[in-house]
């Protein structure tokens, strides 16, 4: 009786998910610019004696938060592609081994 193994993975789906995550990361750059413009407007309108140092602190914090998020998104995208590559390599190894051990 021959052994039977199978590995199922939707490689196109994995690749598409990685591309979607990458697009999300790119969109965050535009969102970052919009958020900074809104924060500037809010600082100007609300005032409360906020000077340039306070405004600068707000902008630095926004930059930091967005940069951290974008870096995490890019890391997630890379991990997704690595997972796809790993699954593809595992499938190829299984095919090779199965072809060598068929009775």
Can you give the pLDDT at residue 21? Answer: 83
pLDDT tens per residue across span 62-73? 899 989 988 888
Domain boundaries, the chain: 29-95
CA distance 47 to 54: 10
Q: Is the confidence at residue 7, as pLDDT, over 80?
A: no
User: Using an 8 Å Cβ cutoff, are 11 and 80 in contact?
Assistant: no
Six-digit token string for 24:
């999300």
Can you give the pLDDT at residue 6? Answer: 58
pTM: 0.62
DSSP 5: -
Report residue 93's pLDDT band, with 50, 70 and 90 as the boundaries. confident
């Amino acid at each position: 009786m021959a052994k039977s193994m199978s590995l199922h993975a939707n490689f196109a789906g994995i690749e598409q998910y990685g591309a979607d995550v990458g697009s999300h990361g790119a969109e965050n750059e535009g969102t970052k610019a919009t958020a900074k413009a809104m924060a500037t407007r809010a600082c100007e309108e609300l005032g409360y004696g906020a000077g340039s140092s306070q405004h600068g602190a707000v902008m630095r914090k926004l930059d930091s938060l967005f940069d951290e998020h974008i870096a995490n998104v890019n890391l997630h995208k890379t991990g997704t592609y690595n997972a796809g590559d790993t699954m593809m390599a595992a499938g190829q190894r299984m095919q090779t081994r199965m072809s060598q051990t068929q009775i």
